Structure 1
Amino acid sequence: MKFSKMWRPALALLLFIIFWEVATRLFEIESWVLPAPTLIVKEMIEVFPTFMPHIASTVKLVLIGFSFGILAGITTATVLHIFPIMREIVMPFLVISQNIPIIVLAPLFMIWFGLGDFPKILIIVMTAFFPIAIATLDGFGQTDRELMHYMKMMGANRKQIFFKLQLPCAIPSIFSGIKIAATYSVMTGVVAEWLGAQKGIGVFMTLSASSYRTPRVFVAIVVTIVLSLLFFGFFLLLEKLFTRWNREGVEK
């Protein structure tokens, strides 16, 4: 995003923070109800040393779960693309699985798999899996028919068509699904920690809320938002790197 486009949302955010600060002081709102931004920053500086292990725990959990989610999503989409009959059978179950609330699945996973990291990782995998799988399938379906016909005329087999044409053409769609899943995965990891964990941003948030230390709750919220943006930004950079050939072709 160019600076000319960035300054407007940055200005809007700055004005919102100023309004928030002025409103809390003008109406003398108690900090346990709504802390001022300056108080949140002060609290963040104070708790950061003890908060770091919680952040590291959540990041590790999300990285593991999200990595498996990417692998599962792309692999499943590839299999369903290669075998259309399986797609007709499996797709309804995939859609149904996304209508089950995470808040319901999480306690069941805790009962079935214990209170370790595995059930939380499984929840993150399920969250990341669906948007990546659907976006990848859409990407495969958008392959240029004329190019595919041309490759068949040249004697290319299914394997060559898939790896040399369909997969490269699907890369922008794959990254679209990954970027969506990246933001959801951080939030899901925090929510999963609410239901049973020894450390993590979700644990820190729960303990802070139960003791009415609202500034610390906002610290956890801010860190969660920043992590989500960092994840999104990282995969945005990867997308630009992997799709450079496509942009160069369009420019020419």
Structure 2
Amino acid sequence: MSAFLATDGARQIARGFAGAFLLAAIWELSARGLDLPAYVLPSVSSILAGMARDAASLLEAARFTATEALAGYVLGCLVGMSGAVIVAMIPSARSVVLPLATAINSVPVVAYSPLVLLWFGVGMTSKIVMVAIAVSFTIFLSTIAGLDRVDRKSVDLIRSFGAGRFAVLWRLRLPTAFPLIIAGMRVSTVRSVIVAIVTEMLGAYGGLGWVIYQAVLQIDFVKVWAAIIVASAISLAFFGAISFVERRYIFWR
């Protein structure tokens, strides 16, 4: 099984690199062949040269953004899963908590950014809180959906052997819910980076969003694209890590 997963993962990575190379080749030929100005679409070679020139600042900004995204992601996952488990264990709370969570989640998370920046300042804390808000709702809803997937007959069977509510949760409901939970976690990886960058653009001391904002003000569109590519690399690495965990440990999916 592990050998198959490793081979399948290697094939997916190879296909990903091949697709990225093909896209880069088309991009380079289009930008040069059509003689597009940098503000429309700079060539890949000029972006790579800009990344090499600004490598130190881009790496520092990437570290800043990745830290915010990862910390907010972990916090959001803990809050979302904990809230879903509490609602599942106390059915009377569902009618109150679930509509409230759905209503809050229906508003674009960026709309909360001015308030969060006002409450927590423009430092790293506000970005972590924003990412946690975005991730927690996704994880909460996916965990609730997963916990509700359990077969009622299986619950009755395990209870007939003397299992209590916590035993049913640990031995049956959570293993059943893990495929949906991990799917929500996979989606949230990209969302966490996006939210961190957007919040940085509204107010920050560093990070890729701040770099993008400053580059736009300086009309340095090559640097804008360089920061976008670095952000995409962070998102892909994050997504790939969660996908690896899913393939490796959620084998019953």
2:169 match: 162
Inter-CA distance 240–23: structure 2 relative to 1 (3 Å threshold): closer
Q: 1:190 to 1:168 in 2, by over 3 A?
A: same
Residues 101, 29 of structure 1: alpha-carbon distance in 2 compared, 3 angstrom cutoff: same
- Aligned letter for 2:61? H
Q: For 2:11 and 2:122, how far apart are their aligned partners in 1?
A: 48
CA distance in 2, matches of 1:12, 1:233: 16
* Amino acid paired to 1:173: L
1:190 aligns with 2:190: no
- CA offset at residue 8 of structure 1? 5.9
Number of the residue aligned with 2:118: 111
Matched letter for residue 141 of structure 2: I
Match of 1:219 in 2: 226
What is the 5 A alignment of 1:37-56?
Answer: 37-56=44-63
Deviation at 1:91, TM superposition (A): 1.1
Provide the residue aligned with 1:180 in structure 2.
187
Deviations 1:63-83 (A, max 9, x none): 111111000000000011111
Q: Structure 1 regions of 5+ residues with no counterpart?
A: 248-252
Q: Secondary structure at the match of 1:28?
A: coil
Aligned residues: 246
* Cα shift at 1:232: 1.0
Structure 2: unaligned runs, 5 residues or longer: 1-7
Q: Deviations over 1:117-160 (max 9, x none)?
A: 22221110111011111111111111133322211111111111
Question: Percent identity between the aligned chains?
Answer: 27
Tell me by how many angstroms 1:111 deviates.
1.9
Q: C-alpha distance in 1, partners of 2:156/2:106?
A: 39
Instruction: Tell me, in whole angstroms, the C-alpha distance in 1 between the residues paired with 2:123 and 2:19.
Output: 42
Q: 1:141 to 1:120 in 2, by over 3 A?
A: same
Letter in 2 for 1:115: V
> Which amino acid in structure 1 is aligned with residue 233 of structure 2?
V
TM normalised by structure 1 equals 0.91
**Matches of 2:111 and 2:157 in 1, distance apart?**
50
What corresponds to 1:250 in structure 2? none
Cα distance in 1 for partners of 2:122, 2:9 equals 45
- Displacement of 1:33 after TM fit? 2.9
Say which is worse superposed, 141-150 or 220-229, in terms of deviation: 141-150
Q: What amino acid sits opposite 2:144 in the alignment? A: L
Q: In the TM superposition, what is the alpha-carbon distance from 1:216 to its structure 2 partner?
A: 0.7
Cα deviation 1:6-52 (Å, max 9, x = unaligned): 66665454333222211211222122331101111111111111222
2: CA distance between counterparts of 1:215 and 1:32? Answer: 8
What SS does structure 1 have at the residue aligned with 2:54? helix
Q: Match for 1:232 among 232, 235, 239? A: 239
Residue identity opposite 2:170 in structure 1 = F
Q: How has the CA–CA distance of structure 1 residues 201 and 6 changed in structure 2, closer, same or farther, with 3 Å as cutoff?
A: closer
CA RMSD in angstroms comes to: 1.8
TM-score (norm 2): 0.90
Partner AA of 1:201 in structure 2: L
Aligned equivalent of 2:87, options 80, 95, 99: 80
Instruction: State the match for 1:96 in structure 2.
Output: 103
Deviation at 1:112, TM superposition (A): 2.5
